[in-house]
Each structure stands twice: as C-alpha cells, then as structure tokens.
Amino acid sequence: MTQSTVSAEVQAAADKAKEEGLEVVYTRIAGKEFLFRPVDRSEWRQLISRRNKLLMDAGEDQAKAVEIQEDEMEELVRSCLLFPEVEVEKLRAGVVGTLGDQIMFESGFGGADIEPVRL
C-alpha cells in the first residue's frame, strides 16, 4: 500500500491491523475506502453451518432463502471489515455485495489468479 493511494486514516488503520497480525486488503468502492481481511476456514464453516440450518428451516420459501443469503453476506462483511467502523446496514445497497465478493476472492474462492494445472 502506498501512501499516495490511500488516506492517512486508512493507512493508520492498516498499520494497526498489521501489527495485530492480520492480513489487510484495501479497496475503494463507490468513492469510499475500505479495509478488510480474508475470512478464515473456521469462520467460513460457522457461516455455512448457520446458513444451512436456516435454509432447512425455511423449507421451500424462496423469498426467505434469498433473505438468508443476503444476511449471510452482511455477516461476512461485518466479520471481515476492518475500516471504516460502520453499520453494514447503512452502506449503499451494492457495496455489501461487492465487498463480500472481494472478501471471498481474497479468501481463495475462485478468481483469475487461481489456475489448477494437471501434472
């Protein structure tokens, strides 16, 4: 991260998180700066377990299933967002999804830099 591409406030938050041993990723979405960390395996398993239970309880209710998936994305962002301190519900509508996608990518869930090679 270079100082010229991020605000001093974001750089300070990144430095603090790194001192705590966290992997820090920077992004800018809709003109706002965000810092996040990848989700780890145990956190992911807890999210999936919770989602699966809720989906089973929802049964065939498709509207409820969509709501559960949205809630899961919000929880992922809430868990991994390092900066700014903000209520996820108050972010712009597309920011949560975009940020969630970036968290997933940085956590190893697909992407252009993942190329399995058969040997």
- Measured at the CA of 77, the angle between CA 97 and CA 93, to 5 degrees, comes to 35
Please state the domain count of the chain. Answer: 1
Work out the burial of residue 26: count CB atoms within 10 Å of its CB; fewer than 13 is exposed, 13-18 middle, 19 or more buried: middle
Q: Is residue 19 scored above 60 in pLDDT?
A: yes
pTM (2 d.p.): 0.84
Q: Mean pLDDT throughout 58-87? A: 93
Q: Is residue 115 part of a domain?
A: no
How does DSSP assign 6-42, residue by residue? S-HHHHHHHHHHHHTT---EEEEETTEEEEE-PPPHH
Q: What Cα–Cα distance (Å) separates residue 13 from each residue in 19, 25, 33, 80?
A: 10, 11, 11, 14
Q: Is residue 116 part of a domain?
A: no
Q: Is residue 10 scored above 60 in pLDDT?
A: yes
Q: Which of 3-7, 24-28, 89-93, 105-109 has the lowest mean pLDDT?
A: 3-7
Q: Is residue 96 part of a domain?
A: yes
